[in-house]
Chains A and B, each alone.
Chain A
Amino acid sequence: MKKLAIVGLSSLLSTAVFAQNNNIGGTITGNMESTFQYLNEDSLIGANQPAEKGLLNSYMNVFYRNGNFKAGMRIESYLPRIQGYPNQFDGTGLGMRYIGYENDFIDVTLGSIYEQFGSGMILRAYEDRALGYDNFLDGARVIVRPFPGMKIKGVYGYQRFSFQSGRVVHSDGIVRGFDGELNLNTAIESLKSKKLKVTLGGSFVSKYQKDDRDDLILPENVGSYGGRIKLRYKRFTLDGEYIQKEQDPSADNNFNYNYGHAALINAGYTQKGLGILFSAKSVDNMSYRSDRNKTLQDLLINYLPSMNKVHTYNLVATLYPYATQPVGEIAYQTEILYTIKRGSKLGGKYGTSLNANFSTAYGPKRNAVNQDFSDTTRVMYETGVFEMSDSLYWRDLNFNVYKKFNRNFNMKLSYFNITLNNDVAKVTDNAKGLIHTNIGVAEVNYKISTKHSIRGELQALFVKPKEDGSINDNGNWATAVIEYNISPGWFFSIMDQYNYGNPSEDLRVHYIYGAVGYIHDATRITAGYGRQRAGLFCVGGVCRFVPASNGLTLSITQSF
């Protein structure tokens, strides 16, 4: 009897423990990616063989959720890191971990935190594994939703800087942030049915870093604050955000004591078959890092979106890309997408899509007030919001037409006219000043049968010669891509980038790269072999330089 009681009791106890969570056992999700490279020496294109010959990057995320409880972690491994990955990565170890509790009212997290306030111009902690970018905050976060439509967030933590000998290395300075957002139409009963939708938000972020200079009196706490508004009225939208940053002397701004600002405006109109967008941005002295001595992409607290289209065709995307100049720029963009109706004369049976996009960026106008470095204020210039100079940084005019001719055949034609100021947004050592390019791309898709299809791309890039008539940068390029797909499992592709216009005849090289991929549900295995050109590799506005390479790349990704 006693024994039975013990069995019964232990049984009951363990059930009770589990019964607290209505979802017994919880759920586990995650993903992994592993990339292996074996590289050859190829002196013609400047590709080096690393001493180890073989390189391996891997990571795996695991997320656990049980009722209101959540936890997650990531193991990272660089043995050693693949080419072009940030050089502060080596070893194997825990790269990210958190635990948390969440219900409709409160959400608390301890550990590694990804977060964004508003458009991110004041605070954005995020990751981009393809680039090796990860600036999460290691600390605590609380999100409170006191009533429907209202959300208040608070974060506190040290930023992730790098990953050395299998351990995360943190920033010197600490970051603290608070953000509130109120959706008026959700919060206030009488506004629920109104056609005008209004959302208001406000943020405050502050960083602390010890004064590490003897010659300057540095502010140890640097605050940044701003507000935002989102308006929707029928088919019209209007968003705006304004952020001001207090005196933040840093390596980026030559230790000046100016205030900084970032302003962003987006206006849009959409209806079925038509979309129009107009955006404007003004940025001055807005690099905001948890360590004032860092540069490039290190330890940024905020994110300044670059205001131009993200291009996908190889020659357009990687040769002359542009990223926001955090030190200062005024930028404008407009985009139109129109689909000509099905069945009309121009639209044909399937409709025809037309897309045009224009973006430009200029340097801010700065009125020098003080060129004297012995002056103790160290306020170097004055500038206003949207006050621009005539110094062109970037201009991109592009359009494309997409037409489906019949069930099996479609085509897309694109044209790009791009001007980049290489003195400001440097992408090459072989050019000075403005680089003008014209690029044309034709893409065709042909469906052979239900499962078999073929895709081809032809791209040509023409660089305008220098004023003396000589070839600018590396001259003209042409690219051809052929891709054969067998749905849903296989793809085969070959790409040839040919630098036929290079000023040096020896360097008129074919960069040929072939790839094979096998996809089974959420598993993806790819193998590629060939030459890859040196260039800027950009995802979502952040870029890293990838050196030229020649060799084998194997990659596996898996979700679960």
Chain B
Amino acid sequence: MKKLALLLIGFSFTFSGISQEETETHSDEGKQLPSVILTDMEGNEVNTADLGFDGPVIFSFWATWCSPCKKELNTIHEMYLDWQDDTGVTLVAVSVDDERTRNSVPVYVNGKAWDYEVIMDPNGDFKRAMGVNNVPHTFLVDADGNIVYSHNNYATGDEIKLRDELYTLVGLPIPK
């Protein structure tokens, strides 16, 4: 009986060690970027877990048929260069358009002259893995792949909240 107790103590030590480690390496939301293999607009394979950016990344789930999504990305488009210069951020626009509208994605992206990285999720694999119910859904991810902020909506002004989270993440003062 005593041995069993000791055995348990032994296990519990290691567990507590593990859980501590977890709290240290994980962010507030405790969610890491899942690995899903998708393609970019050119058809090249892209693994979402090793996109390999140096700085923070914004993942924005959108579709050509989603007006608020387009509004969000068009609004950020006007501020994107400043954000990039200040924080080194990369925005990855994840299109959930399926075959019906998938071909309109490059038309829209280039027609609007976006500078974002665009990846295609036609069967919703990445959408499912990220727990996205509906678009628009935007995630801010740090350079280590930890999700630090997410928001499931877009209304005018939400881009300011996203910007503030981004600047806070990289330790810069929030722009006035």
Give chain A's interface residues, CB within 8 Å of chain B. Answer: 3, 6-11, 14-15, 18, 23-25, 27, 29-31, 33, 61, 63, 65, 102, 114-116, 119-121, 124, 126-127, 129-130, 151, 183, 186, 197, 199, 230, 232, 237, 239, 266, 268, 270-277, 279, 303, 305-307, 309-312, 335-339, 350, 353, 355, 445, 447, 450-453, 455, 485-488, 491, 517, 519, 521-524, 540-541, 557-560
Contact = CB atoms under 8 A, between A and B. Distances in A.
Contacts of B107: 268, 270, 275-277, 335-337
Q: Which secondary structure dominates chain B's binding surface?
A: mixed
Given A126-B123, A183-B45, A487 B160 contact: yes
Interface in B99-143: 99-101, 103-104, 106-113, 122-125, 128-134, 137
Contact of B100 (A115, A540, A559): A540
A239 B43 CA distance: 11
Given A10-B10, A276-B107, A230 B18 contact: no
Nearest to A484: B155
Contact of A27 (B18, B32, B132, B151): B32
Given A273-B113, A311-B65, A335-B104, 14 more contacts: A7-B13, A14-B15, A31-B131, A116-B122, A186-B45, A270-B107, A275-B111, A339-B112, A445-B71, A455-B156, A486-B155, A487-B156, A559-B131, A559-B132
A144 B113 CA distance: 37
Interface stretch (B1-9, B52-60, B80-88): B1-9
A232 B43 CA distance: 9
Interface of B: 2-3, 6-7, 9-11, 13-15, 18-19, 21-22, 30-32, 34-35, 42-45, 64-67, 71, 78, 98-101, 103-104, 106-113, 122-125, 128-134, 137, 149-153, 155-158, 160-161
Nearest to B31: A29
A445 B71 CA distance: 11
B156 A485 contact: yes
Contact of B123 (A63, A124, A232, A274): A124
B152 A25 contact: no
A452 B32 CA distance: 33
A487 B10 contact: no
B155 A271 contact: no
A21 to B, nearest CB: 11
Given A7-B6, A197-B43, A312-B66, A63 B128 contact: yes
A303 B100 CA distance: 9
A559 B133 contact: yes
B160 A521 contact: no
A447 B30 CA distance: 35
Given A127-B124, A521-B151, A485 B133 contact: no
A297 to B, nearest CB: 15
Contact of B110 (A14, A266, A273): A273
Nearest to B96: A540
A11 B131 contact: no
29 contacts: A6-B6, A7-B9, A10-B11, A102-B35, A114-B124, A114-B128, A239-B103, A266-B103, A270-B107, A272-B113, A274-B111, A275-B109, A277-B104, A277-B107, A311-B65, A336-B107, A353-B111, A445-B156, A447-B157, A453-B156, A486-B155, A486-B157, A488-B155, A488-B157, A521-B152, A522-B151, A524-B152, A540-B98, A560-B131
Given A29-B34, A114-B124, A310-B64, A488 B106 contact: no
Contacts of B65: 309-312, 540
B130 A29 contact: yes
A3 B6 contact: yes
A550 to B, nearest CB: 24
A485 B157 contact: yes
A277 B19 CA distance: 53
